[in-house]
A and B are shown apart, each in its own frame.
Chain A
Amino acid sequence: MSQMNPAASGRREADRFNKGGRLRVLLRRPEVGAFFVMVVVIVAIAIASNGVALNPLGLKNNLSIIAQFGIIATGACLLMIAGEFDLSIGSMIGFAGMSMAMMLKWGLPFGLGPATPVTAFFLTLAMTLAIGWLIGFTVVRSGLSSFIVTLAFLFFLRGLTEVCFRLINQSTQISGLPDYKQESWFAWIFGGESFGWLYDLWFALGGNLNRAGEQWVTGLDAKVVWWLLIAGAAAVLMARTQAGNWIYATGDNRESARANGVPVDKVRISLFMLTAFCSTVFAACQVFDTNTADAAKGNLKELEAIAIAVVGGTLMTGGFGTVLGVVFGAVTFGLVANAVFFIPAIDGSYYRVFVGVVLLIAVFLNEGVRKRITGGI
Chain B
Amino acid sequence: MPDSNTSQPIMRVEALTKKFGPFTALNGIDFEVHAGEVHALLGDNGAGKSTLIKILSGVHKPTSGRILIDGREAEFDSPRDASRAGIGTVYQDLALNPLMSVTRNFFMGREISRGPKPFSWLAMDEMARITHDEMVKIGIDISDPSQAVGTMSGGQRQTLAIARAIHFGARVLILDEPTSALGQKQQMEVLKTIQRVRLRGDIAIIFITHNEVHAKLVADRFTFLALGEVIGRGTRADLEGEDIRHLMAGGANISDLQKQLEAVRLSGRAAS
A248-B104, A261-B83 known; A237+B59 contact, CB < 8 A: no
A241-B119, A256-B94 known; A374+B148 contact, CB < 8 A: yes
Which residues in A have their C-beta under 8 angstroms from that of B93? Answer: 255-256
CB distance from A247 to the nearest CB of B (A): 10
A12-B141, A252-B99, A256-B93 known; A241+B109 contact, CB < 8 A: no
Given A19-B144, A240-B121, 16 more A-B residue pairs with CB atoms under 8 Å apart are A13-B141, A13-B142, A17-B144, A241-B120, A242-B111, A242-B113, A244-B122, A245-B104, A248-B97, A252-B98, A253-B97, A258-B79, A259-B89, A261-B78, A374-B98, A374-B150
A1 interface residue (CB < 8 Å to B): no
Could you tell me if A257 and B97 are in contact, using CB atoms closer than 8 angstroms? yes
Bound CA span A237–B121, Å: 9
Could you tell me if B59 and A259 are in contact, using CB atoms closer than 8 angstroms? yes
Which residues in B have their C-beta under 8 angstroms from that of A17? Answer: 143-144, 147
Main secondary structure of the interface of A (DSSP, over half): helix
Which residues in B have their C-beta under 8 angstroms from that of A12? Answer: 141
Bound CA span A348–B107, Å: 48
Bound CA span A168–B141, Å: 69
Bound CA span A284–B5, Å: 72
Which residues in B have their C-beta under 8 angstroms from that of A370? Answer: 99
Kindly identify, within residues 188 to 207 of chain A, every residue whose CB is under 8 Å from any CB belonging to chain B.
none
The number of chain A residues touching the other chain, given as a range, is 35 or more
Which residues in A have their C-beta under 8 angstroms from that of B104? Answer: 245, 248-249
Bound CA span A319–B101, Å: 11
A248-B104, A374-B148, A374-B151 known; A13+B99 contact, CB < 8 A: no
Kindly identify, within residues 83 to 121 of chain B, every residue whose CB is under 8 Å from any CB belonging to chain A.
83, 89, 91, 93-100, 104, 107-111, 113, 117-121
Residue of B113, B142, B148 contacting most chain A CB atoms (<10 Å): B148
CB distance from B189 to the nearest CB of A (A): 12
A246 interface residue (CB < 8 Å to B): yes
CB distance from A224 to the nearest CB of B (A): 24
B182 interface residue (CB < 8 Å to A): no
Main secondary structure of the interface of B (DSSP, over half): loop
Could you tell me if B95 and A255 are in contact, using CB atoms closer than 8 angstroms? yes
Bound CA span A373–B144, Å: 13
B140 interface residue (CB < 8 Å to A): yes
B210 interface residue (CB < 8 Å to A): no
Which residues in B have their C-beta under 8 angstroms from that of A260? Answer: 79, 95, 108-110
Bound CA span A93–B2, Å: 68
Cβ contacts A to B, 19 pairs, < 8 Å: A240-B124, A241-B118, A242-B113, A242-B118, A245-B122, A249-B109, A252-B97, A256-B91, A256-B93, A256-B95, A256-B97, A258-B79, A259-B91, A261-B78, A319-B99, A370-B99, A373-B99, A374-B148, A375-B150
Which residue of the partner chain A has the closest CB to B149? Answer: A374
Bound CA span A43–B210, Å: 62
Which residues in A have their C-beta under 8 angstroms from that of B120? Answer: 241-242
B167 interface residue (CB < 8 Å to A): no
Could you tell me if B79 and A261 are in contact, using CB atoms closer than 8 angstroms? yes
On A, residues with C-beta under 8 Å from B are 12-17, 19, 237, 240-246, 248-249, 252-253, 255-262, 315, 319-320, 370, 373-375, 377
Which residues in B have their C-beta under 8 angstroms from that of A244? Answer: 122
B233 interface residue (CB < 8 Å to A): no
Could you tell me if B108 and A262 are in contact, using CB atoms closer than 8 angstroms? yes
Which residues in B have their C-beta under 8 angstroms from that of A256? Answer: 91, 93-97, 108
B80 interface residue (CB < 8 Å to A): yes
Which residue of the partner chain B has the closest CB to A315? Answer: B99
Closest 9 CB pairs of A and B: A375-B151, A17-B143, A256-B95, A261-B109, A252-B97, A260-B109, A374-B150, A243-B118, A14-B143
Could you tell me if B98 and A259 are in contact, using CB atoms closer than 8 angstroms? no
Which residues in B have their C-beta under 8 angstroms from that of A257? Answer: 97, 108-109
**B122 touches which of A242, A262, A374 (Cβ 8 Å):** A242
Could you tell me if A248 and B140 are in contact, using CB atoms closer than 8 angstroms? no
Could you tell me if B95 and A245 are in contact, using CB atoms closer than 8 angstroms? no
Which residues in B have their C-beta under 8 angstroms from that of A261? Answer: 78-80, 83, 109-110
Which residues in A have their C-beta under 8 angstroms from that of B141? Answer: 12-14
Which residue of the partner chain B has the closest CB to A370? Answer: B99
Residue of A244, A252, A262 contacting most chain B CB atoms (<10 Å): A252
Which residue of the partner chain A has the closest CB to B110? Answer: A261
Could you tell me if A253 and B98 are in contact, using CB atoms closer than 8 angstroms? yes
Could you tell me if B80 and A249 are in contact, using CB atoms closer than 8 angstroms? no
Which residues in B have their C-beta under 8 angstroms from that of A240? Answer: 121-122, 124
CB distance from A243 to the nearest CB of B (A): 4
Which residues in A have their C-beta under 8 angstroms from that of B96? Answer: 253, 256
Bound CA span A13–B108, Å: 24
